[in-house]
Amino acid sequence: MSLVLYTGTRNASSWALRAWLALREQGIAFEERIVDIRRPQRHDNLARIAQFSPPAAVPVLVDGAHVIFDSLAIMEYASELGATPLLPADIHQRARARSLLAWVHSGLSGICARLSFESSFYPKRRAMTADEVEQSDRLLQVWEQTLTDSGGPWLFGALSLADLAFVPVIQRIISHRPDFGGFPLAQEWCLRLMARPAVAEWMDDARNLPVVVLDDYLP
Ligand SMILES: N[C@@H](CCC(=O)N[C@@H](CS)C(=O)NCC(=O)O)C(=O)O
């Protein structure tokens, strides 16, 4: 197998999840090497990644002589490698999907700041703050409107990178705010996405790992 994807710990590495999902959804075979980036092994492991990938971070995809780093670049590569691209065919829809991808990639909203991906696997989870509820409402509105416009079942009709990029965000939301019934299309879409076999596989593995609870989690 010529493709090797370096990922991180399943319950912490939301960027690696996005790259891994795009490859899996495209049916691309790859070998996965999980890199433990927690202390104390973090420094040595990232130094090894730095030998072939400038950001010294995961995910990194190595395809023979080609090193593709950063989750967004790997997602786009997976989209192009597969039989059917994971971006809409229409130029305006594609631009909109890329806008959502870029939004996720540049930080999205305040919701991810204190609700780490790992916190969604904590045995005792706190309720969202008022600000986090407001931020998640904003996202739910965007998803509801996008699904209304496209008619579903995915954001742009067929499954795209935009759906996959939101998976770690949805995981944060549903684990801290189980009821968001005011957004019926978005709620159904979230459940549909989280039930995809590849998503369920990653989350099942993540749930079985020990967590590191961060001090700034509680309000
Ligand atoms: N923009 C990068 C972010 C990658 C990233 O932050 N990866 C984390 C693990 S999820 C990492 O390797 N961190 C190493 C570090 O922070 O030094 C991407 O999308 O791939």
Query: pLDDT of 66-83, one tens digit each?
Result: 999 999 999 999 999 999
81, 106, 134 — which closes off a domain? Answer: 81
Same domain, 74 and 107: no
Write down the pLDDT at residue 1.
Answer: 56
Write down the pLDDT at residue 191.
Answer: 96
Angstrom CA distances, 38 to 12, 14, 46, 48, 216, stand at: 10, 14, 10, 14, 18
CA distance 44 to 190: 37
Q: How far is the CA of 116 from the centre of ligand 1 (A)?
A: 13
Two structure tokens written together for 56: 């010294």
- In this structure, the residues whose C-beta lies within 6 A of any atom of ligand 1 are 8, 13, 15-16, 37, 46, 57-59, 70-72
34, 58, 81 — which closes off a domain? Answer: 81
Average pLDDT along the chain = 95
Same domain, 71 and 100: no
Residue 35, number of CB atoms within 10 A of its CB: 20
Write down the pLDDT at residue 112.
Answer: 80
Same domain, 132 and 202: yes
Instruction: Name the one residue in this structure whose structure tokens are 């989209």.
Output: 79
Note the pTM of the prediction, 2 decimals.
Answer: 0.96
Same domain, 74 and 119: no
Element (H, E) at 68: strand 66-69
Q: Which of 7, 10, 15 to mutate to test the pocket of ligand 1 (most atoms within 8 A of CB)?
A: 15
| Number of domains within the chain | 2
Same domain, 198 and 99: yes
Asked whether residue 121 is assigned to any structural domain, the reply reads: yes
Same domain, 72 and 116: no
Asked whether residue 31 is assigned to any structural domain, the reply reads: yes
Domain span holding position 108? 91-207
